[in-house]
Structure formats: C-alpha cells, structure tokens
Structure 1
Amino acid sequence: MLKLNLGCGHDKRTGFINVDSQAACQPDQVVDLERFPWPWADGSVDEIVMSHVLEHLGADTDTYLGIIKELYRVCAPDARVTITVPHPRSDNYLADPTHVRPITAMGLQMFNQEQNRQSIQEGGSSTPLGIYLNVDWALESSDVKILEPWASRFNGGQLTEDDITLAVQNFYNVIGDCTFVMRIRKPAFAG
C-alpha cells in the first residue's frame, strides 16, 4: 500500500511518496492535485498527509469537491487522512494570498455519511455532501495549536476549554493550526 505526502513542498517525509505540483521542490512525483484523475489506482493508498496544502486548493467549488472525491477514490478502506491547516481566524491564514478556502472540522464532517443521514432525519440544513458525492469518512480526531497569550493561560489553569472555545468564536489569533485525522469508510455508511 502507498503512503502519500500530498503538496509536500520542502517537507519530505520518509516512507511516503512526496508529491508536489512544483518540480522546484524536487518531489518524488510531480502532480497537479487540481487535475483529475490523480495517477494512483483506486483503493491503493493506506495513508495520506496534507500539511498546509488543502487551504491552497479548490478555489472553484467543483475543483474542491473533485479533490475530495479523488482522496476517497485512491484510499483503501480504513485509510488514514491527516490534514493540517491554519485556523481561518489566524493571521497565518489571512495573510497568505494563496489561501483560497478555509478548512474546518464542520466542513470536513459534511463528507461523513452517517452525520449526513442523521441531519436529514432531523430536518437539518447541512448539505449532505458525502451522500451526494458518494464519499464517506469519519473524523477520528482533531487537534489545535493554541497561540500565545492564550496557551500560557490555558496551560496554567487560568482558562478552561470552554473559555478557549468562547475566545475562538469571538477573537482572532487564538488558534494557529488545526490538525484533522479522518478514517475512510468503504463501503460507505449504510445506516
């Protein structure tokens, strides 16, 4: 099974095929992730890492959804997909003119067919993208890097998780990076 480090830039990882659209980065394989189909076979990938990549791709909605479909297509059942992105309310996200799309846990969960079916049953308004696109993954974990001065206050016990959640909803530069780990479900959730 393959392991892919997509959009590797200069972050080459041992044990992975390091892929980038820029030959100047000297990746193992030059691939434009916004052109389909990707050059890997259906179900051939056991693990994908995308570190500070997905927020640069898919300014056009059809292209973004095509990327999601290709991620799903090339992954084997139970494959692990790890996506690290800057938080959309951080200067790291806002300052870079090449960032075209905020990536959030809520947005990634729109490709979870179990949650899609639950939302439909409850009369929710979320678009069931997992069902529409015939893709399915479950968010296994999410982690955030809390920025200063919030981190010191949180680690020192002066702030609770609820305080951080409230701060994220109301202020910029509370969270730097977000890392989401998804597990591919094949066959898709039948519910």
Structure 2
Amino acid sequence: MSNLRLNLGCGFKSLQGYINVDRFGNPDLKFDLETFPWPWPDNSIIEIKLIHVLEHLGQQTDTYLQIIQEMYRICANGATIQIIVPHPRHDDFIHDPTHVRPITPSGLSMFSRRLNQEWQNQGCANTPLALYLNVDFELIQTNFVPSQLWRDRYPDRISDLQLLLQESALYNNLIKEVEMLLKVIK
C-alpha cells in the first residue's frame, strides 16, 4: 500500500481513485477518524481530502492534535491535504451543532516547523505546535469563498480579497467557506 489517496469523512460523496472513509453510511472503509492509530502504514498516503469534515472532529484538543499527528504519520513527503471548511464567522458554521472546532489558516499554520522556528526567534508567544507534535505542514494555498451576501453587497468588487477580509473582520456571513491546501514536509 503506497501512493494512496484518501477522501476522509466522505459522507455520501465518494470519489473515484480515492479510498472513501466515513464512520457512517456505506463508504469503502467504515472507520471513526477519532480512533487511533489509523489503519494506514507510515508514509503511504500522497493525498488527503477533508471536505467539510475537520470542523466536525476533535472537540477535545488532545483528539484534534492526534488527528494532525496521524495525518502526518501516514502521509509521504510532499503529500497534499485539501481542507475545505465553513468560515467560523458564517452561520453555516455557527448553526450546526456537530461543528466542534473552527479551522482557520492561522490555526493550521501553527503546524509549520518553519513558522514555529521564526516565532521562537522573534520571541512570539505563538504555541509551536509543529515542534511539540513533531509534525511539519506548510500551508501553500488559501482561498476564501465569498457568500451570496457579499456578492449582493459588492457586485462590482466580488474578487476584491483585501476588501473581503477587511469587511469580514467586522461583519459575519461575508465568507462562506475557506479552502486550504497543506503540503507535508518530511
């Protein structure tokens, strides 16, 4: 088993070319992602998709951090992890009682060894999670998906990212979801 692709928490959306994994339904593999260790060997995965999944996992901090460690363990060097989550200031996140943790680009950046070392050198108070957990992920891409409210409010500035981020710091429901891509560094 090597060069595997996982669609974790697939729900009813199975993807061809992936091992579709979920605790519920009829996936290729029925498995609870909050159970450790995961059933894949070290360094055997080249791609993981977590599409509207990670915000449902790891209500307890220790469990969330174990999920991060398991992803690192099973991924090969250079593997990618696609994460799509509702924006934590959007009603889609707030209203779902199964959403247990906001997932943000800044939060995922805490698993970068490079950034942890920069923060230590600068005397920052950021928690060096990559160093504590012996993991290393680089956030290589972030995309903010504007909501319909944003599109209606600024139809001529839909793609103005600076304005979107500035306004979303003040108002809820402007960013519907966040798409992030991590690269595994080993």
- Which TM-score applies when normalising by structure 2? 0.95
Write the mapping of 1:37-186 to structure 2, written as runs, cut at 5 A: 37-152=37-152, 154=154, 156-157=156-157, 160-186=160-186
1:116-174 per-residue CA deviation (whole Å, 9 max, x = no partner) reads 00000001011000000000010110111101232355552388432211111011000
State how far apart, in whole Å, the 2-side matches of 1:158 and 1:49 are.
27
Letter in 2 for 1:56: H
1:24-76 per-residue CA deviation (whole Å, 9 max, x = no partner) reads x2100011110100000000000000001100000000000000000000000
State how far apart, in whole Å, the 2-side matches of 1:13 and 1:112 are.
29
Q: Pick from 12, 16, 19: which aligns with 2:18?
A: 16
For structure 1, list consecutive stretches of 5 or more residues without a partner in the other structure: 187-191
Task: Please tell me whether the aligned partners of residues 154 and 160 of structure 1 are also in contact (alpha carbons under 8 angstroms).
Answer: no
State how far apart, in whole Å, the 2-side matches of 1:181 and 1:77 are.
15
State how far apart, in whole Å, the 2-side matches of 1:155 and 1:3 are.
38
For structure 2, list consecutive stretches of 5 or more residues without a partner in the other structure: none
Letter in 2 for 1:18: N
Residues 159-168 or 119-128, more deviating: 159-168
Task: Please tell me whether the aligned partners of residues 23 and 31 of structure 2 are also in contact (alpha carbons under 8 angstroms).
Answer: yes
Q: Pick from 3, 6, 29: which aligns with 1:4?
A: 6
Q: Considering only aligned residues, what root-mean-square deviation do their CA atoms show, in Å?
A: 1.3
Task: Please tell me whether the aligned partners of residues 153 and 159 of structure 1 are also in contact (alpha carbons under 8 angstroms).
Answer: no
Q: 1:69 and 1:158, CA in 2 relative to 1: closer, same or farther beyond 3 A?
A: closer
Aligned length: 184
Q: Give the match's secondary structure for 1:4.
A: strand
Q: Give the match's secondary structure for 1:166.
A: helix
Letter in 1 for 2:9: G
Letter in 2 for 1:55: E
Percent identity between the two aligned chains: 45
Letter in 2 for 1:138: E
- Which TM-score applies when normalising by structure 1? 0.93
Q: Give the match's secondary structure for 2:12.
A: coil
